[in-house]
Each structure stands twice: as structure tokens, then as C-alpha cells.
Amino acid sequence: MPHTKRRRLVTTAVAVSLGATALAACGSSDDSKADSGPVSLTYWAWAPGMDKVVDLWNKGEGKKDQITVTVKKQASGDTLVTKILTAHKAKNGPDLVQAEYQALPTLVSNNAVADISKSVGDAKSKFADGVWQQVTLGTDAVYAVPQDIGPMMFYYRADLFKKYGLKVPTTWDEFARTARALKKKAPDVDLTTFSANDSGLFAGLAQQAGAKWWTTSGDKWKVAINDAATQKVAKFWGGLVKEGAIDNQPMYTPAWNKALDTGKQIAWVSAVWAPGTLTTAAPDTKGKWAMAPLPQWSADQDVTGSWGGSSTAVTTDSRHQEAAAKFAAWLNTNGDALNALAKESGIYPASSSAQLSGAFSNPPEYFSNQADFYTEAAKIAGTTAPSAWGPNVNVAYTTFNDAFGAAAKNKSDFVTALNTMQDATVADMKKQGFEVSQ
């Protein structure tokens, strides 16, 4: 892969290549690295209990194929991205790495992960199209196997919706009307809050609306964080905050927990992993919540965004890429492995078939009142919209927290905050040597 530009990610200097063509060419699998005989692989991952899941492989398929995998526990997020790029620069990276979807473009453009399409291409049928797209980056290459996903959903207090005579909104217009109607009936109660301390939520909402924040054309990146779809989302939430129809406080705080637990907030736009958060945040309301699909921008649509999720990638430093790819496919498509991942690591699998079996045959304990929780979740997951991540998601997310945090607090213009996010992201890419068109 040619290295035409240089940039710095977080704190590590690394060489990069730009554009869709370059992305497709990066990290192609090298058959010469598929050595014969016993193989030992190292897997950098942060998911809890991953070593127990890998033990199943080592005692079963791995033993038969003479492929042993050792898990090395890592931190997640930017910390792991920096570490993997540092290791790659020194040519001593692991064989496999657990990579968040939004980190893949950075790893690919730095030639840190391999194209494993020749080894796992048939795994595509196991995943929804929108999920599989996140590991191909819109090319013919396959840079990882999807592991877990976070399809977005609407959570609400069923008992309080009944008390206040509210209907579950199926469109965002209905959502806004519901928020206003609740305020008239109970001025001290909010339908929900707009939170600026988790940029993944806003990114998922923009994704549902059709946003494509980063795309490539030739050797150039196009950044469109303030595109029409995202402006629509920003105006919608900014308008509700400005008129006081919803709260403007951040999530995950003691005040937010109390609001959920006492019925001061009666809904939450979240993802499939929400039951775990609610168990801690609102323990006194167990069994009182229900889940429904995310409201749509038009009644004839059926699409959701994604908030979170990761994949298993094979590195270009691995001397055993074919063996590593075989393990990555097993880990994320084998029924026993997926059940173990659900039990030991608490993941919601990206594999469509696994979403209706094993650990997901019964609802979460917190939602024991909704027997079809995971049946509905699987349907929603199948409508996941494609994503479009870029090489400096961390900068975009940090700017979101600052700009939207101030806008939410001051009830000022959200589109202005969005433009700030766009400008900061473009400026960072140009500073680091990327060719950018807007």
C-alpha cells in the first residue's frame, strides 16, 4: 500500500494512505504468512470474560486445527487504537484485535489491519447488510468480522405512559407532540433529555436520518458532518430543548439516574444494551419499562441507527493471517461461541441468527414483563442503517461534547454547534495531511 501522506493519531506518528482505492488495497491477505504446523495467535481484546470464550476454541476447533489463541486484555477506545498503531509501527502487533467500528477506517488507512475477504467472505450471510457494511467500509475488502452491535430503540415507562394518556410515538413528529403533551399534563415531568456527554447517541440518530459523515472519492476524503440529514436531527432536538419540551441535562449522572428512577423522566432513546444501564440507574422501576422501535422520520420508513459495537480484525503484522481469520469467523458466527460471548462478555451479537437463540431466548430480567424483547430487538437490528466513519472520529466526538454541551446548557442554536463540529474535524484532517473536499 503506498504511503502518500503522514498524520498523527492521538499521540502516535503513523503513515497513512487516502481514498477509497487506497482503502481497498490496504492490508491484503498474504498467503505466505499462513505457515504450516502448530500456530499460536495473540488476541488483544477488552470484552470481559473473553479468555473463557477463547478456551472453547482452544479445546475444540483450535485443538483440531492446531491453532491456539491467547487473549491479552486491553483498554478500549482511543487507548487501544494508539497502542495497536504503535505496535504496528514497530512491526510487533498482535494477530487479532477487537476493534470498534468507528476505529476501523483509522486502522485500515494505517495499514494495520488486513483484508480477510478471501478467508471469511462467506460469513456475510450471517449479518444484516448495514452491519456487514461497517467492516467493508463500502469496498470489496473485508477488514474484520462483526462481533457485537448496538441497534437503537425507544424505551419508555409503560405505566406512566398509561397514566398520562400517551401513545408510543412511531415518528419523530409524534415524539415531539408527545413531549409537549406531557409537559402540559405534568409540567415537572420530562419525556426525556438531550444529552451531550455521549456523542455516540447523536451519531446514531444522524445515521438513522441518512447521514454519511465521512466518504472518499479518489485520494480525497469528503467530510459532511453538517449535511442535510444531520442538520435535520440537530434542529429537531435543539428546538425541543429551546422550547423546554424536554430536559437538557447529561446522562449517566446521579441526577439523571434519579429522574429515571422517580418518574421525572419517562423515556430514553437508547440501544439494545439499555437494560443493563437501567438496572443500575433505575433499580426501583424494574418491570415498568417497555421497548419499542425508534421513531421514524416518515411513517413509511423502517430504519434504526447504531450506538456502539465492535468487530474482530486480523492485523497485517500477523504471520498467520489465514488461521487468525478462521478464528475470527468462528468467534462471531459459531453458536457455542456466541452463547459464551453473551454469557461471559455480555454482548448483543452482530450475527442475526444468534439474536434469537441461546442467551436471547428469554427477555432481560429487567424487562421480564416484555416476553418478546429480543424478538423485537432482532427485527430492529435487521434495519440498521449503513454507517460512514472516518479517520478522526475522536476529534469529531470531542468537539461534539464541547459544542453541543454548551448549546444544550444555554439552549442555543444546535446547527451552529454542528458547524463547529464540522469545521474542527476538517481542520484536524487537513492539519494531519489528509486531502479533504467539502
**Residue 421 corresponds to which cell in the numbers above?**
463540529
Looking at the DSSP bridge assignments, the partners of residue 14 are 7
Q: How far apart are CA 115 and CA 125, in angstroms?
A: 18
Other C-beta atoms within 10 Å of 83: how many? 18
- The answer to whether 201 and 397 have CB atoms below 8 angstroms apart is no
Query: pLDDT value at position 438?
Result: 67
Q: How far apart are CA 324 and CA 106, in angstroms?
A: 21
- The answer to whether 117 and 132 have CB atoms below 8 angstroms apart is no
Query: pLDDT value at position 43?
Result: 98
Phi, psi of 364 (to 5 degrees): -60, 150
Chain segment 284-325, per-residue pLDDT in tens: 999 999 999 999 999 999 999 999 999 999 999 999 999 999
Other C-beta atoms within 10 Å of 278: how many? 23
For residue 354, give Cα distances in angstroms to 94, 124, 316, 330, 377.
28, 14, 29, 13, 12
Query: pLDDT value at position 36?
Result: 60
For residue 365, give Cα distances in angstroms to 270, 293, 360, 370.
18, 20, 11, 10
pTM for this model (two decimals): 0.89
Chain segment 49-70, per-residue pLDDT in tens: 999 999 999 999 999 999 999 9
Q: How far apart are CA 403 and CA 297, in angstroms?
A: 25
Query: pLDDT value at position 87?
Result: 94
Query: pLDDT value at position 310?
Result: 96
Residues of the chain with pLDDT under 70: 1-37, 438
Alpha helices in 211-303 (DSSP H): 228-242, 254-262, 274-281
Looking at the DSSP bridge assignments, the partners of residue 44 are 72, 97
- The answer to whether 341 and 349 have CB atoms below 8 angstroms apart is yes
